[in-house]
Amino acid sequence: MEPELGASRHDRLRRVQSLLFVPGDRPDRFGKALAAGADAVVIDLEDAVRPADRPAARGHIADLLRSHPAPVPVLVRVNDIRTGELSADVESVIGAGLDGLVVPKLDPDCAAATDELIGEAEQARGLAPGSIPVLGIVETAAGLLRLAALPRLPARIVRLAFGAGDFSADTGAVWLPGNPALLAAKSMIVWISTALDLAPPVDTAFPWVNDPDGLRAEADDAAAVGYLGKFCIHPAQIESVHAALRPSDDQVRRAEAVIEALSGSGAAGAQLMNGQLIDEAVVKWARRMLAIGGHRPQRPD
């Protein structure tokens, strides 16, 4: 039933860790992207596609979404509502085969207007209200600060992401792994996500395909401040992203030991385990590690 499918879409988008971009005007690459091993594929209608090529790209994406179910969730990055192209993007791709939308340059005004437009498209296609979830990319200083002041976002926005390229252009920050200015912005997106009860955010794509060390450093930085996802622009980046964002075997074993000790003791409150104080914060960490360890969201059969 459609409400169950909608809930499943939301859950998958909250949990994906590697999200591989593929240009919407390159249908010859769709199959390779879907089989690359990423947790989700993001077909791009924005930066990767020239405006003149977007009508054809919309058709290619619609054809894919109407075909047999993909092996992993399929998202579409649409254009910012201020471009005037969002309506055409949404109307062409929305339907049962779409797992979610990636919305660029998110701010409060954009969020509200985009939510309304998607809702109208859902109604026109007979989908349950709110069934198409959104991952919103924060790409400007103004968007970041204005989102921080909000008490809530539309319910369909289940996750945020950081867009370092546009954010660097907006603020003058140099895009390098470890830059304190970018880490501060990334951290703020984690705090906003936590305060608004959103899923942990998705980190920016790393644009230097031939720099695996730089990719791993940036992914490690993101994981250290609380990110659980990262965009990829090439299949070769997926393995490094998984290695950075997924708990190590040692972390999983430690988390299992914490939960086992807690359940076996029958005692409430803080206690000692191998000389370490186990309190509610440590238990929360352990549950988080077990929730994300080795998990790869799949579309239902």
Residues annotated within the binding site are 77, 139, 166
Alpha carbon separation from 40 to 175, 238, 278 (Å, rounded): 25, 11, 36
Binding residues for substrate, by number, are: 77, 139
Which residue ranges make up the annotated binding site for Mg(2+)? 139, 166
Write out the two tokens for 159.
């996750």
Tell me the CB-side half-sphere exposure of residue 147, using CA atoms within 13 A. 33
Q: Which two tokens stand for residue 17?
A: 């860790």
Q: How far is CA 74 from CA 31, 80, 115, 234, 255, in A?
A: 12, 19, 19, 16, 32
Structure tokens at 48: 């990767």
Please provide the DSSP assignment of the chain as one string: -HHHHHHHHHHHHHH--EEEEEETT-GGGHHHHHTS--SEEEEESSTTS-GGGHHHHHHHHHHHHHSSPPSS-EEEE---GGGT-HHHHHHHH-STT--EEEESS--HHHHHHHHHHHHHHHHHHTPPTT-S-EEEEE-SHHHHHHHHT-S---TTEEEEEE-HHHHHHHH-----TT-HHHHHHHHHHHHHHHHTTPEEEEEPPP--TT-HHHHHHHHHHHHHHT--EEEESSGGGHHHHHHHHSPPHHHHHHHHHHHHHHHHH---S-EEETTEEE-HHHHHHHHHHHHHTT-------
